[in-house]
Homo-oligomer: A and B are copies of this chain.
Amino acid sequence: MTYTAHITVMPLKELLDPQGKAVMGGLGNLGLSQIKDVRIGKHITLQVEADSPEAAKAVATEAAQKVLANAVMEYFEVVIA
């Protein structure tokens, strides 16, 4: 069976996010001053062939650990839809 894994990869909370800061400046210039902080990461969807949601989550987690997330600077979350 094919499962969809949603992986969210974000910069670690204690790290400065220069990309986010730049976007926040742009949003402020457009009058969206209600936005106090912006953090930008990756959203990755995988179509995984597996016998169960748990098996699909294990594959997605392995993919995130090995390729999709840089553990030094990022954390990730896996959700199976």
Contacts and interface: CB of A to CB of B under 8 A. Distances in A.
Q: How large is the interface on A (under 10, 10 to 19, 20 to 34, 35 or more residues)?
A: 20 to 34
- By DSSP majority rule, is chain A's interface helix, strand, loop, or mixed? strand
A44 B34 contact: no
Interface in A1-23: 2, 8-10, 20, 23
A36 B49 contact: yes
Given A34-B49, A35-B63, A50-B34, A43 B9 contact: yes
Contact of A32 (B34, B38, B63): B63
Interface string A34-69: 111111111111111110000010010011001110
Interface of A: 2, 8-10, 20, 23, 26-27, 30, 32, 34-50, 56, 59, 62-63, 66-68
Contacts of A35: 46-49, 59, 63
